Amino acid sequence: MRDVLTGTNNQALFDYSDQTVYEHQGLRFRSATEVKIYDELVRRHLLVFPLPVAVLGNAGVYREPDFLVFSRNGNSGILEIHGEPFHPTKTTVKESARRRQFEDIGVNRCEVYDAAECYLSTQRIVSDFLARLKQGG
């Protein structure tokens, strides 16, 4: 609890000093789009971990998916929002490898959506993600 009060936590750990940080309901986000997706996931009463830090096998090897979500049937999935500046096209291969790492350790689905589409069609994107999550891996 002391860490929470002093500002240290595992949510939105990576800091991009040149980017705006959006504070929302005591959490940090990097875009208004992430806030909209978060609000829609919460509205649907799901277990949601926004921008959690994951340790993949070695201390110091960290990954930060946009959202880790658990469905009512027990499936887990990562919903990624891609667009500039965090996920430019040139990192596609690296991002695919990262998604495979999560799937290899048991995350059922890793789905990527366009940032502009997430912002404009939030409910439809979340519905699509949840339908895919329901199908499992």
Q: Give the 3-state secondary structure of residue 43.
A: helix
**pLDDT over 60 at 1, yes or no:** no
Tokens at 126, concatenated: 């979340």
Give pTM, 2 decimals: 0.82
Contact yes or no for 50/64 (Cβ under 8 A): no
Contact yes or no for 73/65 (Cβ under 8 A): no
Structural domains in the chain plus CATH codes: 2-135 (3.40.1350.10)
Contacts of 27 by beta carbon, 8 Å cutoff, 6+ apart:
11, 12, 38, 50, 51
Average pLDDT over residues 32-49: 96
pLDDT per position as a tens digit, 2-37: 444 445 455 555 555 567 788 898 888 989 999 999
pLDDT per position as a tens digit, 58-72: 777 788 899 999 988
Is 113 buried (19+), middle (13-18) or exposed (0-12) by CB count in 10 A?
buried
CA distance 7 to 43: 26
